[in-house]
Amino acid sequence: MWLEADEVVVDALRDLRKGKVVSVPDWKYKLAVFGLRHAPRGLLQSVARDTRGRIGRDSQ
């Protein structure tokens, strides 16, 4: 999923000319951004909680 720097720059400059505030360079990343924006908040919170682990937290 790595991108070539030249391609990222070309995409970013194209989006800048279009007046876009945020530039997402590739369809794979656009799909990921779409999924994150439209996923249920509870799902995102549970995934984030699981990836951080329980270090320094009180058990519930």
Each residue of 35-46: pLDDT tens digit? 988 989 888 887
The verdict on residue 46 lying in a domain is yes
Residue 51 token pair: 């990836």
Dihedral, CA of residue 19, residue 22, residue 26 and residue 30, to nearest 10: -120
The verdict on residue 20 lying in a domain is yes
Amino acid at 7: E
The verdict on residue 45 lying in a domain is yes
Is the Cβ–Cβ distance between 47 and 35 less than 8 Å?
no
Each residue of 11-58: pLDDT tens digit? 999 999 999 999 998 899 999 899 988 989 888 887 777 665 655 555
The verdict on residue 60 lying in a domain is no
The verdict on residue 40 lying in a domain is yes
Q: Whole-angstrom Cα distance, residue 59 to residue 35?
A: 30
The verdict on residue 18 lying in a domain is yes
Number of domains in the chain: 1
The verdict on residue 47 lying in a domain is yes
Domain that holds residue 27: 5-55
Whole-model pTM? 0.58
The verdict on residue 36 lying in a domain is yes
